[in-house]
Amino acid sequence: MTNNKKELATLHTTKNLISIARHHFSTYGYENTSLEAIAKEANMTRGAVYHHFKNKKNLFKAVLNLVQHEVGLNVEKRAQSSKDIWEQLILGCVGFVEAATLENNKRILLIEAPNIIEWTQWKKMDDENSVLLLEEQLMIIQKNEQLIDFDIHMISHMISGALNDLSIYLAESDNLNNEQIYKAVDYLLKGFKKNG
């Protein structure tokens, strides 16, 4: 087998393991997920799983990276559905809440992640994904003089914290009403809008 074929086979195996693990982590939780069950479903030995992932925690991190990437894609997709830069901010925030509270995301992203990986590591991952997207949009809004004169990093962390907490609340209450989510996000963001 050439190096290219080996790399493709490894990539395929890794993606398959992440997909299976995602189902297990979102359905049974981190504690009740075993590498043996994941290996069995993937038709592999536990040792073969260790060849790709050092331990269960590393496999969880790979799943979390995928979830955060998908949430980020949904944020961008929702934001791009408007040409108005302020509306893009609102829709992007709504897109985060929608994607974060999906059945196969909420347990991994909102409940398990802050407990399984160290808080500082989880926060770093959140900053590199959600907060970064927020800061980029806020800079565009600031250049267009629609943002209050305040530190963008502070604003983005306040918004991110509020969205994370709102998502946890909605994930636990099963009370997802898109119109209400839009209104809540709109009210939250108005405080940062110049002449809002």
CA distance 156 to 163: 10
pLDDT at 174: 65
pLDDT at 2: 55
Q: Domains in the chain, start-ordered, CATH in brackets?
A: 56-192 (1.10.357.10)
C-beta separation of 105 from 164 below 8 A: no
Beta bridge partners, 193, equal 147
What are the C-alpha distances in Å from 131 to residues 14, 26, 124, 127? 28, 24, 10, 5
CA distance 121 to 80: 29
CA distance 76 to 134: 10
Sign, CA dihedral 151-136-169-178, equals positive
pLDDT at 20: 97
CA distance 117 to 123: 10
What is the residue-level pLDDT of the chain in tens, covering all 196 positions? Answer: 456 888 888 889 999 999 999 999 999 999 999 999 999 999 999 888 998 999 999 999 999 999 999 999 999 999 999 999 999 999 999 999 999 999 999 999 988 998 899 888 888 888 888 899 999 999 999 999 999 999 999 999 999 999 999 999 998 886 668 899 999 999 999 999 998 6
pLDDT at 5: 80
Report the length, in residues, of the chain. Answer: 196
Dihedral angle of Cα 82, 83, 88, 90, to the nearest 10 degrees: -60
The pTM of this model reads 0.89
46 sits in the region (left: phi over 0; alpha: psi -120 to 50; else beta) called alpha
Centroid of chain to Cα 94: 13
